[in-house]
Amino acid sequence: MKSRVFVIVLAILALVGGTTVATGTTEQGDGVDTVSIRTNWLWYGSHGIFFLGREKGFYEEENIDLEINEGNGSANGVRLVANKDNTFAYASSATMINLAAQGAPVVSVAVIDAEGVDAVFCHPDSGVSTFKDLEGQTVLTTASAGTNLFFPVAAENAGADIDKIELMNVAEGAKITSYLQHLAPCTLGGLDDVPAEVMANGGEPPVAIPYSDYGVYQPGYSIVAHKDLVEDNPDLVERFVRATIKSVEAAQADPGAAVTAMVNSEAIEADDAVLTQMRQVLDVTLSILVSNNNTAGQIGLHVKEDWESALYLLKEYTELQTEIPANGFYTNDFLPY
């Protein structure tokens, strides 16, 4: 008798409190979908886009209750989506391609950072200013960082011997601290976050060696979704993408408001120095929303040439094997254009 009562109670709770469906999404009783997005890294300025959209009610207008979860690497974010632990991820496009080609059931539904910002950063007194100078040196990184993917490509294109460069993995939150403590002369990272973080913590402006200077052209960060969600609940994907594009446009119009939204959410404690750093990071993202190949100038648009370049680099230099064409890793079906 007790077991029958328990089953009935569960059924009532499901009707009243909502039911869990695929890809970590919860349908609430009032028709609102609880949706989660996993960021690529620990909180930084570019993530203010999502906080601003939530604060302004753009997601709420689309019947979405948005949970913004801090990340620790693009690869981890993509895997969490593939495992249906998170609904979406803001993650490196190249990392997503790499994992999808190996069987992860994920696809990009919008591009945010349309150009890659991967680079090597070195202490000004290290004497390192080119990839060739990295030979015999140690470079800090983290095991799941998207910047790891094309490092060998840029190094080879620059004529450097990758076997003479040591990559040292450190904990996710310790990379910049380790760099500032001179554990190694250089670190991998993004033009959108490393320089600002180094200077905010008292370091000298680092010497940047962008991968793009050595023939690495790729889309930057995308909104990644599970293929099941795209097929089974396209309406939700469309609503989420629409709200996110509005959030990006709002951040363009008022970048300071995006930074403030993060602080207001209590996601991060910020003094003036941290606010300045966050704004510098966000400004980089807002400057690369449209790639040179995006002649339509549409935010979120996947451009075939950009994705073909990324796929070519992966296949040519990282031994990725796949028969999936470039346009098999993304869809423009959910953009509001």
Domain boundaries, given as residue ranges, for the chain: 19-116+219-328, 118-214
The amino acid occupying position 221 is: Y
CATH (residue range 19-116+219-328)? 3.40.190.10
pLDDT band at 271 (very low <50, low <70, confident <90, very high): confident
Instruction: Report the SS3 class of residue 171.
Output: coil
Note whether 19-116+219-328 and 118-214 share their fold: yes
For the chain, helix (H) and strand (E) counts, in that order, are: 13, 12
Nearest to 162 by CA among 123, 195, 197, 136: 136
pLDDT tens digits, 158-203: 999 999 999 999 997 899 999 999 999 999 999 988 999 999 899 9
Residue 10, H or E segment: helix 2-17
Query: Within 10 Å of residue 195's Cβ, how many Cβ atoms?
Result: 22
pLDDT tens digits, 275-296: 898 999 999 999 999 998 999 9
Give, as one character, the DSSP assignment of residue 47. G
Q: What top-level class would CATH report for the domain 118-214? A: alpha beta
Mean pLDDT of the chain: 90
120 class by beta-carbon count within 10 Å (0-12 exposed, 13-18 middle, 19+ buried): buried
**Where do the H-state alpha helices sit in 118-188?**
151-157, 175-180
Distance CA 311, CA 265 (A): 37
pLDDT band at 13 (very low <50, low <70, confident <90, very high): very low
Nearest to 122 by CA among 109, 137, 108: 137
List the beta bridge partners of residue 36. Answer: 67
pTM assigned to the model: 0.80
> What percentage of residues in the chain have a pLDDT greater than 90?
77
Residue 247 pLDDT exceeds 90: yes
The mean pLDDT of 226-238, rounded to a whole number, is 98
Residue 26 pLDDT exceeds 90: no
Q: What is the dihedral of CA 21, 228, 89, 315, to 10 degrees?
A: 160
Instruction: Report the SS3 class of residue 210.
Output: strand
Q: In what order do the strands lie in the sheet with 166-169?
A: 166-169, 138-141, 186-190, 118-122, 207-210
Residue 330 pLDDT exceeds 90: yes
Distance CA 304, CA 322 (A): 17
Residue 6 pLDDT exceeds 50: no
